[in-house]
Amino acid sequence: MFLKNIRLIHFRNYEQLNIDFYPGINILYGRNAQGKTNVLEAINICANGKSFRVNTDSKTIMFEQNEAYIKAAFERNEQINHIEVLIEKEKKKSLKINGIPARSLRELLGNLYVVVFSPEDIKTAKEGPSLRRAFLDGEISKIRPSYVDALKKYTRIIAEKNALLRSKRVDKKEIMLEAYNEQLESYIKMILKNRKAYIKKLNEYVNETHQEISGGTEKINIRYKESIPEESIRETLQKLVKKEIADFSCAAGPHRDDIDIMINDKDVRVYASQGQLRTLMLAVKTACLRILEESTGERPVLLLDDVFSELDDARKKNLLKALKGIQVFITTAGTEKIESTEHVHKFEVSGGIITPKS
């Protein structure tokens, strides 16, 4: 699939934008703070329902305005589809798919497939486990929208169970916990099954993409660390009851799990350099794109925010080669020696105006 056109009204620093893109590599270049990343943000909102920079949609509304509008036209199976997003202050955003209102995020997912890499993603490898869980859940949701439902229900039950554990009422606590655990079992199973299957696939692809980009031979190994073994969910929950009552909170479950990422058997959190982390996450995201393609039969669009300018020339070249056949959006503050070719198209971004250069 590919993104053909995007229209913006009062989105970030874009008063009005209406621009066509190409199926190959689209390079958005220009000085800092001109609106390059804002375009990627708008594309991602249409695809995945949220910004990759802020949690509050209303921050994307142009200063002094009351609403922002995004419309994306993308080609899929030789047909043009449209996604519209209207963001209003203090309201839930409204979505339309081919003119028909969509009621939930779940309906939006599965239309336009997009994978994003932004400099923030380095944190996924480096910082706390919640970012790694969010990354994993986000990617799985794109493939399997029913996973979103399971995750939501699981989170709600955990919240209720925690509230019970914190409550002063002591009588019948064990019986009530038993009832919660019974409900939790199938959701935990579903979440673990999907997360572990995803990690398995990620391992298969990530080394390939990593070697393509780095030109090196380092070996990446990603491991899922579960706090409740998949084979004995009920028994483990049962065993934890006394501890949970004593601690006033849930002791284990997918909301406590983590992922280990190793390069040549060394934990990246402790040993990897900035450059290594960047190349690693770039390879991880490219692997995510391959997995999404394999699962959906559609080749997703890749958004690369600000990675290009930081790669050395060899890696830049390797990256472009590895991305052949994929529609990619690359933002860069360097005006570049990159030449326009049949596959590489340049756009200059300046003060919320985009000018095609090839």
Residues 6 or more apart whose CB falls under 8 angstroms from that of 239 comprise none
Among 5, 13, 203, 227, contact with ligand ATP (rule: CB under 6 A): 13
Scan for tokens 């390079």, then name that residue: 27
Among 16, 33, 314, 335, contact with ligand ATP (rule: CB under 6 A): 33
Q: Which is nearer to ligand ATP, 39 or 206 (by Cβ)?
A: 39
- Does position 69 bind ligand ATP by CB under 6 A? no
Q: Which is nearer to ligand ATP, 325 or 351 (by Cβ)?
A: 351
Q: Which is nearer to ligand ATP, 286 or 331 (by Cβ)?
A: 331
Among 4, 19, 23, 38, contact with ligand ATP (rule: CB under 6 A): 38
Q: Which is nearer to ligand ATP, 56 or 77 (by Cβ)?
A: 56
- Does position 227 bind ligand ATP by CB under 6 A? no
Tally of residues, the chain: 358
Site string for ligand ATP, 287-326 (x = CB under 6 A): -------------------x--------------------
Q: Which is nearer to Mg ion, 53 or 269 (by Cβ)?
A: 53
User: Do the Cβ atoms of 345 and 330 come closer than 8 Å?
Assistant: no
Q: Which stretch binds ligand ATP (CB under 6 A): 55-63, 159-167, 173-181, 339-347?
A: 55-63
Query: Taking the mean position of all CA atoms in its chain, how far away is CA 305?
Result: 13
Nearest to 69, CA basis, from 60, 77, 56 = 60
- Does position 85 bind ligand ATP by CB under 6 A? no
Q: Which stretch binds ligand ATP (CB under 6 A): 27-35, 104-112, 166-174, 338-346?
A: 27-35
Among 35, 49, 253, 300, contact with ligand ATP (rule: CB under 6 A): 35
Measured CA to CA, the distance from residue 286 to residue 305 in angstroms comes to 13
254 binds, among ligand ATP, Mg ion, none (CB under 5 to 8 A by kind): none
Strand partners, 27: 330, 346
- Does position 34 bind ligand ATP by CB under 6 A? yes
Residues 151-210 that bind ligand ATP (CB under 6 A): none
Q: Which is nearer to Mg ion, 33 or 134 (by Cβ)?
A: 33
Scan for tokens 């393509």, then name that residue: 212
Q: What is the 3-state secondary structure (H, E, C) of 186-227?
A: HHHHHHHHHHHHHHHHHHHHHHHHHHHHHCCCCCEEEEEECC
The contact set with Mg ion (CB under 5 A) reads 36-37
Helix (H, G, I), strand (E, B) or coil at 129: helix
288 binds, among ligand ATP, Mg ion, none (CB under 5 to 8 A by kind): none
Structure tokens at 196: 């572990």
- Does position 62 bind ligand ATP by CB under 6 A? yes
Count of chain residues binding ligand ATP (CB under 6 A): 18
Nearest to 226, CA basis, from 341, 129, 86 = 129
Q: Residue-wise over 110-148: b if at least 16 C-beta within 10 A, else e?
A: bbbbbbbbbeebbebbbeeeebbbebbbbbbbbbbbebb
Work out how close the CB of 93 gets to ligand ATP at its nearest, in angstroms, rounded to a whole number: 15
Residue 265 zone, left/alpha/beta (φ > 0; ψ -120 to 50; rest):
left
CB atoms within 10 A of CB 298: 15
* Site residues, ligand ATP (CB under 6 A): 12-13, 30, 32-38, 60-63, 306, 331, 333, 349
